[in-house]
């Protein structure tokens, strides 16, 4: 029987998740049909009801990858939320797992996880991010919650969260409170200078939304060195992760790199979080073989890992 999995979101046609997952399953010899399905926030409850009906009829769903704008809504659609997803209230992975014998929910439980946190942490570590970094997050939506959790895992004592509207950062505030992570929610007007002084910057804004900051960074770089303190001179040793990967390079990534900073494409985060999803969907356990990660990188034109 062919197993099923999919990535859900809106829009979804640009997603590279199908290429990543299909490469992994082909290498593993797993017959798992992975597709992309366009689902809006309003359509999600009805879609998940159909999925549950599929499961009751015996269809072999193994997993769902969840992207924007569905990550918060998916929390209400699963039977259980585990790990950091429980604290964040944000789910990007749904695994279809056998229910305990005698459970009233039937033979299959839908379990929500968040693999974005591991994706961010591993991408930043692979790029040489320092321990206990000073951290800046751009954006206050669902992915910012994972970014805050990632900074905490890296040992950051606190974080500055820059948003376009300080009254609309509920997800970031809730995540920080649940994690016990001190944060400051600040207007975007001060972001460029804070970025320049940070060890790690995680941009969770939609594609092109950070473009104005690229110009501000360029303006900082253009100033004579004696007009900037050492702490606010761009590109000293900071690492920028831009979770957007289409188009690439983004303007903010190009400006950061021109300042001498290290840049991590969002594709790196996508690969690392997909590796965790493959583990859940196939039952591989604690480790995905390095050769599987290699073929996933090949599928999206990313450099192979060095272990």
Q: Which residues are catalytic?
A: 71
| Alpha-carbon separation of residue 201 from 9, 11, 75, 126, 193 (angstroms) | 25, 26, 27, 15, 12
d(Cα 262, Cα 128) in Å, to the nearest integer? 9
| Alpha-carbon separation of residue 4 from 1, 7, 35, 303 (angstroms) | 10, 11, 8, 28
Question: What DSSP letter does each residue of 60-99 carry, written as one string?
Answer: -EEEEEE-TT-TTGGGGGSSEE-THHHHHT---EEEEEEP
Task: Give the relative orientation of helices 116-126 and 266-282 as an angle to the nearest 10 degrees.
Answer: 130
Question: What DSSP letter does each residue of 241-283 carry, written as one string?
Answer: EE---SSSS-HHHHHHHHTT-EEEEHHHHHHHHHHHHHHHHHT
| 263 touches 249 (CB < 8 A) | yes
Pairing state between β 80-81 and 108-113 = parallel
Q: Can you give the length of the chain in residues?
A: 307
Q: Phi and psi dihedrals of 115, rounded to 5?
A: -95, 0
């Amino acid at each position: 029987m062919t197993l099923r999995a999919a990535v859900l979101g809106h829009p979804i046609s640009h997603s590279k998740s199908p290429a990543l997952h299909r490469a992994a399953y082909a290498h593993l010899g797993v017959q798992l049909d992975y597709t992309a399905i366009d689902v809006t926030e309003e359509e999600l409850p009805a879609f998940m009801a159909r999925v549950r009906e599929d499961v009751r009829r015996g269809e072999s769903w193994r997993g769902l990858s969840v992207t924007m704008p569905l990550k918060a809504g998916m929390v209400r659609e699963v039977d259980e939320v585990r790990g950091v997803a429980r604290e964040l209230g944000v789910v990007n992975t749904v695994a279809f797992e056998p229910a305990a014998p005698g459970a009233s929910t039937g033979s299959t439980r839908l379990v929500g996880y968040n693999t974005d946190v591991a994706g961010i942490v591993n991408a930043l570590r692979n790029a040489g991010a320092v321990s206990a970094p000073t951290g800046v997050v751009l954006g206050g939506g669902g992915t910012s919650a994972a970014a805050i959790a990632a900074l905490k895992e890296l040992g950051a004592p606190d974080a500055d969260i820059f948003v376009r509207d300080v009254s609309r950062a509920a997800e970031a505030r809730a995540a920080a409170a649940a994690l016990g992570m001190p944060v400051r929610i600040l207007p975007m007007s001060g972001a460029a200078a804070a970025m320049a002084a940070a060890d790690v910057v995680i941009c969770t804004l939609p594609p092109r939304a950070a473009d104005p900051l690229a110009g501000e960074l360029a303006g900082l770089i253009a100033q004579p060195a004696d007009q900037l303190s050492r702490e606010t001179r761009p590109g000293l040793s900071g690492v920028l992760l831009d979770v957007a990967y289409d188009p690439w390079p983004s303007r903010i990534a190009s400006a950061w790199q021109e300042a001498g900073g290290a840049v991590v494409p969002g594709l790196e985060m996508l690969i690392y979080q997909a590796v965790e999803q493959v583990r859940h969907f196939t039952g591989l356990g604690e480790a995905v073989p390095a050769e599987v990660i290699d073929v996933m990188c090949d599928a999206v034109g990313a450099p192979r890992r060095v272990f």
